[in-house]
Amino acid sequence: MIRLQINPAFNDLLQAHKLGSYPQIMHTTLGETIEENELRDVHRLDLNGQNFYLKRTRSEKASSALESYSRLRLAHSKPYKEMLQFRYLAQLSFNVAEVVGCGEELHWGIPLKGFIITREVPGEDLALVYRGADEDRRRSIMTGFGSLLGRLHDRGFFGSTRLKDIFIDGDPLDSPLLTLIDRETRNPYPKPASAKRILSRLMFNIRRQTQQGEIFSTNEWRAFSESYCRSLSSHLEFEAESLLRGILLLVGPVNTI
């Protein structure tokens, strides 16, 4: 069985480039290869001067399908789950990459492979911008990141979010636009946001960021904690100073600037 969803606004453009059907999209060699391995690839497509990203999986884990069915949810491929997450977030007015199309192939209810096409988000990778930024801009980036992560957690979206999953458009000191680009997640649906879950998922996110080399100073973590706490609903009553202490204990010694 094939599930295919094409955003009607892009139907003609895709058809004009022989990308109107599931097999055409799964087999196309159009565009520049951004990433490729035995499990997946990412292509950057230029269609009549507009840029898009095509992410495809070449195989999916059957265990992930079984996990979904055991939770009484439909099983989906990774790209399809990413599309669902983008859709939820867009409905809640988060800035996310616009989904142009998405599809997946299933056999006896088990996803085999799939794709998602998104429109190119303006700006640059926030992790790269952070690396090249001065002290003030770095702090500002962490304020923006804290605020975005706080809003996501408050709404029950706990998928891992690192700076590299965000694009920034504009000067970090001048209210830049932050847009989520990479929403790959095991569970695309929102979960109830209890204080306990928020804290454990925040700490999990920070541990992952640190393991992957996103390391910040104490002052940057302070800016993060303050804006993260401000973004949570008041009934959750997180206190920025104690959150900061918890984060610093978790990430270990960092420079004290």
Ligand X SMILES: Nc1ncnc2c1ncn2[C@@H]1O[C@H](COP(=O)(O)OP(=O)(O)O)[C@@H](O)[C@H]1O
Footprint of Mg ion (CB under 5 A): 182
Q: Which x/- pattern, by CB under 6 A, does the window 45-74 give for ligand X?
A: --------x-x-------------------
Question: Cβ closer to Mg ion: 44 or 230?
Answer: 44
Is the Cβ of residue 109 or residue 170 nearer to ligand X in the bound state? 170
Separation in Å, CA 118 to CA 23, 153, 186:
18, 24, 19
Question: Of residues 34, 66, 128, 177, which one binds ligand X by CB under 6 A?
Answer: 34
Distance CA 60, CA 77 (A): 6
Residue 34 site contact among Mg ion, ligand X, none (CB < 5 to 8 Å, cut-off depends on kind): ligand X
* Contacting residue, 30, 42, 47, 240, with ligand X by CB under 6 A: 42
Query: Is 110 near ligand X (CB under 6 A)?
Result: no
In whole angstroms, how close is the CB of 50 to ligand X at the nearest point? Answer: 12
Q: How far apart are CA 14 and CA 49, in angstroms?
A: 13
One residue of 41, 67, 154, 184 binding ligand X per CB under 6 A: 184
* Closer residue to ligand X (CB): 126 or 244: 126
Question: What's the token pair of residue 57?
Answer: 């999986």
- CB 78, min distance to ligand X, A: 8
By beta-carbon proximity to ligand X, the closer residue of 115 and 167 is 167
Beta strands in the chain (DSSP E): 2-6, 32-36, 40-47, 50-57, 99-107, 110-119, 124-125, 166-169, 177-180
Q: For ligand X, what does the binding mask look like between residues 119 and 158, x meaning CB under 6 A?
A: -xx---x---------------------------------
Contact 159, 183 (CB under 8 A): yes
7: exposed, middle or buried (Cβ count in 10 Å: 0-12, 13-18, 19+): middle
SS3 242: helix
The rounded Cα 39 to chain-centroid distance in angstroms is 19
Provide the binding-site residues for ligand X, judged by CB under 6 A.
34-35, 42, 53, 55, 97, 118, 120-121, 125, 167, 181-182, 184
